[in-house]
């Protein structure tokens, strides 16, 4: 997966989550439709999707799992059959829903009221929810709704700022919430020897499950580099600490991330390496690759 495609996935997620929902400004009320479904595997949660039609005839939608504890007036029993009225109250605003359920599936309409004082509080912290507008309408409206659904609080913003990772903007705030980039995670990654990671890097770390423990284990194997992208490549191609130990036992140390990845891509395992070395004791990584794809030196 290329760097461009990684960011493409992240940006697509943000377009859907951050801008793909409807909101409101100040005292006005915005309406839309909601649908819901329950899952036996998650008895304490329900999947809710909020949708509205755009002026151009399209649809903006946001869907996620929510705990019943976050939905005032809705219980698991009520999702079987009958009419319902419930609401989600968050610092950024309130979503009020009405409709009905039948056999665990529900639908209806919602009303959203944003909290302008929340936007003012965020602006005083350096997160300007009103800085621009886009094709979907007022940026403030979209961002207030997203902040409500994601439960982005001023306390969370304060925690991020306390981690001293430089200047952050509103999009960084949403990314941190979506991908669970907490101040603790930020500090742990900084302590691993990567003090200059930005929010995009931290998001990739979450996506590819790169945490302080993984960095420590890779470093213990002697394969760490100053390039964070090397760790991303390791995770993309499933380079585990055990695999690195195997390479080390076969005499391959201090390899670049690119060379380590080649062992994964071309399936150069210990058995293959030993067989090749029986014929060429000083065989290189490139020569191993050539042997695997059927190219032999004359």
Give residue-wise pLDDT tens across range 153-202: 999 999 999 888 788 999 999 999 999 999 999 989 988 888 888 899 99
Confidence category of residue 7, pLDDT binned at 50, 70, 90? very low
Say what the pLDDT of residue 220 is: 81
Say what the pLDDT of residue 224 is: 66
Paired with 50 in beta bridges are 34, 62
Q: What is the pLDDT of residues 79-105, one digit of tens each?
A: 999 999 999 999 999 999 999 999 999
Say what the pLDDT of residue 21 is: 38
- Cα 26-30-31 angle, rounded to 5 deg: 165
Task: Name the range with the highest mean pLDDT among 41-45, 73-77, 129-133, 195-199.
Answer: 73-77
Mean pLDDT of 233-258: 88
Calculate what percentage of the chain has a pLDDT beyond 90: 53
Neighbours of 282 (CB within 10 A): 6
Question: Between these two residues, 153 and 270, which has the higher pLDDT value?
Answer: 153
Q: What is the pLDDT of residues 110-168, one digit of tens each?
A: 999 999 999 999 999 999 998 744 433 456 777 898 899 999 999 999 999 988 878 89
CA–CA gap between residue 115 and residue 91 (Å, rounded): 7
Q: Please give the helix or strand (H or E) that residue 139 lies within, else none.
A: helix 139-150
């Amino acid at each position: 997966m290329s760097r461009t495609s990684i960011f493409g996935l992240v940006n697509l997620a943000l377009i859907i989550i951050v801008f793909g929902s409807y909101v409101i400004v100040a005292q006005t009320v915005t309406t839309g439709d909601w649908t819901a479904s329950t899952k036996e595997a998650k008895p304490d949660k329900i999947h809710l999707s909020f949708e509205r039609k755009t002026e151009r005839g399209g649809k903006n939608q946001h869907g996620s799992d929510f705990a019943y504890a976050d939905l005032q007036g809705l219980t698991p029993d009520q999702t079987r059959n009958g009419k319902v009225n419930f609401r989600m109250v968050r610092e950024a605003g309130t979503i009020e829903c009405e409709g009905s359920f039948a056999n665990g599936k529900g639908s209806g309409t919602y009303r959203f009221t944003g909290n302008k004082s929340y936007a003012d509080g965020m602006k005083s912290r350096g997160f300007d929810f009103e800085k621009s507008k886009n094709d979907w309408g007022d940026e403030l409206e979209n961002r207030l709704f997203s902040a409500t659904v994601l439960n982005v609080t001023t306390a969370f913003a304060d925690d991020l700022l306390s981690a001293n990772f430089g200047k952050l903007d509103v999009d960084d705030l949403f990314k941190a919430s979506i991908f669970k980039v907490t101040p603790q995670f930020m500090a742990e990654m900084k302590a691993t020897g990567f003090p200059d990671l930005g929010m995009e890097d931290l998001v990739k770390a979450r996506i590819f499950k790169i945490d302080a423990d993984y960095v420590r284990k890779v470093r213990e194997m002697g394969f760490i580099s100053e390039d964070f992208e090397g760790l991303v490549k390791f995770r993309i191609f499933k380079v585990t600490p055990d695999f690195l130990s195997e390479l080390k036992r076969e005499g391959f140390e201090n390899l670049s991330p690119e060379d380590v990845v080649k062992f994964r891509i071309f399936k150069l395992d210990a058995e293959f390496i030993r067989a090749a070395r029986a014929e060429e004791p000083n065989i290189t990584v490139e020569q191993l690759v050539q042997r695997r794809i059927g190219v032999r030196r004359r």
